Structure 1
C-alpha cells in the first residue's frame, strides 16, 4: 500500500505525533526542508560537511566545472548567495575557481582532488540516510517526490506561476 494513503504501517510509525496541518504549500515545503535538512546534516556530520555543502559538491561534480552562472541556475540560487555558500568550500580547499579558457570574464567552479575525496567520504554517509528515507517513504514515492520537486524548482514552473 502507498505510504501516503494513511493506512501504511510505516507511515503510522513516524506519524504518531503529527504537526499541525499545513495550509500553505510554501510553509509545508519549508518545514519539510528544515526537518529533512537536520536529519541529513546529522548523517553527514562525520564527514565534517553539511547537507547543503554536499549537495553543492555533487552539483559541481555533475555539471563538470560549471560557470558560476550555470551553477547558480542549477542550484536555484542568486550569484551572491552562491558566492557566500562557496566561500567555506574554497577556504577548506574542496573547491576552486578559475577563469574560463574560452571567456576570461567567466569563472568556472571545480572540485579539487580534496573536494572529490570529501564528496566520496560524505557519499558513504549519505547513502544510508537516503536508504532510511526511502524505507520510510517508499522508493517509488521518493522518486516521484524528487521528480516533482525538480519540476517545481525549474525555471519553467516560475514562468507559469507568475502568469
Structure 2
C-alpha cells in the first residue's frame, strides 16, 4: 500500500512517511521527535530518517523544545505550501487505493481495523 502512495507522491518529491510528518505537524502543531513518532506509530530512528530531508529542504524546522533535552519540530511556511500541493496528489492516490481495494466502504473498514491494531479505535 505504501508503494502506491510513494509512487504518486514522488511527483512532488515526497515519500508517504514524509507526507504523514507534514500532515501531523500541520494538525498537531510543534511536537518533540518522540511525540511525532508516537503519532506516526514509528520508532524514533525511522522518524529521524523521514525528518532529515524535510529539515534539509526547509519544510520542517527543528528548534529548542520544552526543556533543554528535547527539540521541537515545526512546519515551516514552505512546508505548508508543499503540503497543500501534496494533499491533492495524496487524494488521487487515496482514490486509486479505494478503487483497487473494492470501494470506499471496504477501505474504511480496513482503516478501522488498522486503527484497532494500533489502539486508536
TM range (shorter): 0.7 to 0.9
The residue correspondences of 1:8-157 to structure 2 (distance < 5 A) are 36-100=1-65, 102-136=66-100, 137-154=102-119
Deviation at 1:124, TM superposition (A): 1.0
Q: Are 2:32 and 2:70, in contact at CA under 8 Å, matched by a contact in 1?
A: yes
Gaps of 5+ in 1: 1-35, 156-163
Instruction: Measure the CA separation in 1 of the matches of 2:32 and 2:117.
Output: 23
Name stretches of at least 5 consecutive residues in structure 2 with no aligned partner. none
Between the aligned partners of 1:99 and 1:154, the Cα distance in structure 2 is 30
Q: Larger Rg: 1 or 2?
A: 1
Structure 1's consecutive aligned runs of 4 or more residues displaced over 4 angstroms after TM superposition are none
The count of corresponding residues between Structure 1 and Structure 2 is: 119
What is the SS of the residue equivalent to 2:61? strand
